[in-house]
Structure 1
Amino acid sequence: MTSIAQARRIAVLIPCYNEAIAITAVVDDFRRALPQAQIHVFDNNSSDGTAEVAAKAGAIVHSVKLQGKGHVVRRMFADIDADAYVMVDGDDTYDAASAPALIERLFAEKLDTVVGVRKPIHADVHRPGHAFGNRMLTGFLSYLFGRNCSDILSGYRVFSRRFAKSFPVLSQGFEIETELTVHALELKMAVAEVVTPFKERPEGSHSKLSTVRDGIRIVVTMVRLFGAERPLAFYSLIAAVLALLAVLLAVPLFVTYAETGLVPRFPTAILSTGLMLLAALAFFAGLILDTVTRGRRELKMLAYLSQRAPE
């Protein structure tokens, strides 16, 4: 690592849950790659002795009792003070040798975050369902914020102090990677991506992700993000659907009334009127929530600007 980053305080943050098989290799690899860094392992109720193995490997071990990666990241950013934070999963699938380049770019270009974009060493490293879900969510966020992303579910990232101390962690589980990306895109932060090798898990180690369960989570996250970040568009879409249904139900009633002067399907008329009222309420809810979202974004920006810029 060049002198630009050598004088900085570097913290390697490793979230872990039952990674005793892999954690020693992860700690050793990052100690070699970043000899001046403090290596912190955040154990999330492991039952296989991960904390003890990490301590023997020389890491500073922290215990997080609330289950879920989101809770772990909250404690990481709250408890550790550094100039740059390297967050990497403890499953020994990420390339520690790439860390100096990620940190160097963070400081050289005064960035807020650098994402390690995974490039599989072997074609079968990614499960097809996970790869498809990643592409789907990545494309959706790129559309939502107008900025291209390559791998928003990567567990290998470098953050500035400004990013870490202004990030309001809300997620509880593996949605945290999406939330990290949204925080950067929402505030128009300086972001970069660096391609890094991605390898298979060590023998005996198993992924905590489920293709079906986490696929559903991805879809739910996409809908939630659309509603939270673009409320006017989200609720206007709902309003349009409700209004269209109301009109489709009302057209036959108007035709019958024009021909006979009667409204024979009175319940349908009530339903059509109710749907139109709901459409109006949805539209105005979107307007109100859009104002709230702008205010929330301004508060996040003020928290971001209250931290010193990378030097």
Structure 2
Amino acid sequence: MRPTIACVVPCYNEEAAIGKVVSDLRAALPEAEIYVYDNASTDRTVEVALEAGAIVRHERRKGKGNVIRRAFADVDADALLIIDGDDTYDASRARDLVDLLFEGPYDHVVGARRETVEGAYRPGHAVGNKMLTGAVRKLFGNDVTDMLSGYRVFSRRYIKSFPALSHEFETETEMTVHALNLRLPTAEIPVDFKDRPAGSESKLRTYRDGWRILKMILGLARRQRPSLFHSVLAGLIALISLGLGTPVIVDYINTGTVPRFPTAILAAAIMTIAVLVLLVGYILESFMHLRQEQSRLAHLAYPAPTRSPKGLDADRSAKPTSSADRPEETLARS
């Protein structure tokens, strides 16, 4: 039985670009169902998408994370590809991403952006992506080259184990950390990234959305690495206690008395708080392991993505992959 493939295109006011994205996806994956999720657009996005042959659905709650949450719940497929509707990604590479998912088999394939037109990456976006990706690499201990890419394909078992809790552009961070945390087999393919077409405007706000992504990373660190998070917090609190208590201890050693008794009590109380914070971290670590086990079991409840060799050979003959663009497995090596 041939595996099912679906494409999900989140859109908000992409009248100028959505028609080309849908037509490029249709040419690359003629067997796929293409869903355009309109996020309360005020232009002709819906009409253009329908004219291009897409299935249009609506998510009234603003934010890309809300769209992804809805799409992952509604769309059922063996391979689900997401791509932004702004025509900045090379949609003709969709076949390569999907084929790699089945070849691996992988649960998550990322289209890592490579700039083909100068200025496609705004300076603030490029710097922010490097900083935030670096933070995830430090916290979660694995290779991530383009954490914020909006061009990805997922297996069914990835989708069924992914909670999709974010609301806006921080959803890509949540996707990446989910794969790293469960050590899911993940690969990436370099894809061309270009500037938006004329008449299209970016919805990403560098500082506002960068701050939201940073908060998401810190929140994920608190939830996914509680012992580390609470150890750092406990260490900071302990330093305050030592700063207050050291002079009192020195006075006691020199004079045999405690002239600043309230300060001694305060320092002891703060140190007690530090110890409690540390213990809470270790307790939460146990709960986190339980949650990981549950997510892993939800993941294993579905089979790995597979495609018959005959079907795969036919797809390859339709669109070969150049040797320069052969993918490398960069995330979640198990």
Same fold (TM over 0.5): yes
| Number of the residue aligned with 2:72 | 77
Instruction: Tell me how far apart the structure 1 counterparts of residues 96 and 61 of structure 2 sit (CA, whole Å).
Output: 33
1:242 and 2:231 aligned: no
Contact 1:30 1:96 in 2 (8 A): yes
Contact 2:109 2:187 in 1 (8 A): yes
Instruction: Tell me how far apart the structure 2 counterparts of residues 214 and 206 of structure 1 sit (CA, whole Å).
Output: 16
Tell me which of 144, 163, 170 is aligned to 1:149: 144
Length-normalised TM-score, structure 1? 0.94
1:268 and 2:263 aligned: yes
Aligned residue identity for 2:62: Q
Displacement of 1:256 in angstroms is: 2.2
Cα shift readout 1:241-283 (whole Å, capped 9, x = no counterpart): 1112211211111222334444333442232122101101110
Tell me which of 250, 253, 261 is aligned to 2:248: 253
Tell me which of 169, 188, 197 is aligned to 1:202: 197
Instruction: Tell me how far apart the structure 1 counterparts of residues 100 and 298 of structure 2 sit (CA, whole Å).
Output: 24
Contact 2:9 2:36 in 1 (8 A): yes
Equivalent pairs counted in the alignment come to 306
| Number of the residue aligned with 1:3 | none
SS at match of 2:98: helix
Aligned residue identity for 2:174: E
Instruction: Tell me how far apart the structure 2 counterparts of residues 218 and 169 of structure 1 sit (CA, whole Å).
Output: 14
Contact 2:12 2:45 in 1 (8 A): yes
| Number of the residue aligned with 1:285 | 280
Tell me which of 26, 31, 46 is aligned to 1:36: 31
Contact 1:257 1:263 in 2 (8 A): yes
1:310 and 2:313 aligned: no
| Number of the residue aligned with 2:168 | 173
| Number of the residue aligned with 2:12 | 17
Cα shift readout 1:153-195 (whole Å, capped 9, x = no counterpart): 0000011111112211111111100111111111111100000
Instruction: Tell me how far apart the structure 1 counterparts of residues 55 and 123 of structure 2 sit (CA, whole Å).
Output: 36
Contact 2:169 2:213 in 1 (8 A): no
> What is the RMSD of the two structures over their aligned residues, measured on CA atoms?
1.5
Displacement of 1:16 in angstroms is: 0.6
Aligned residue identity for 1:127: R
Instruction: Tell me how far apart the structure 2 counterparts of residues 29 and 274 of structure 1 sit (CA, whole Å).
Output: 64
Instruction: Tell me how far apart the structure 2 counterparts of residues 219 and 146 of structure 1 sit (CA, whole Å).
Output: 17
| Number of the residue aligned with 1:48 | 43
1:86 and 2:77 aligned: no
Moved more, 257-266 or 19-28: 257-266
| Number of the residue aligned with 2:331 | none
| Number of the residue aligned with 1:188 | 183
Length-normalised TM-score, structure 2? 0.88
Instruction: Tell me how far apart the structure 1 counterparts of residues 252 and 142 of structure 2 sit (CA, whole Å).
Output: 52
Unaligned runs of 5+ in 1: 1-5
Contact 1:133 1:218 in 2 (8 A): no
Instruction: Tell me how far apart the structure 1 counterparts of residues 11 and 54 of structure 2 sit (CA, whole Å).
Output: 12
Aligned residue identity for 1:17: Y
SS at match of 1:149: coil
Displacement of 1:144 in angstroms is: 2.7
Tell me which of 105, 118, 126 is aligned to 1:123: 118
SS at match of 2:195: coil
Instruction: Tell me how far apart the structure 2 counterparts of residues 275 and 210 of structure 1 sit (CA, whole Å).
Output: 40
Moved more, 211-220 or 246-255: 211-220
Instruction: Tell me how far apart the structure 1 counterparts of residues 228 and 22 of structure 2 sit (CA, whole Å).
Output: 46
Unaligned runs of 5+ in 2: 307-334
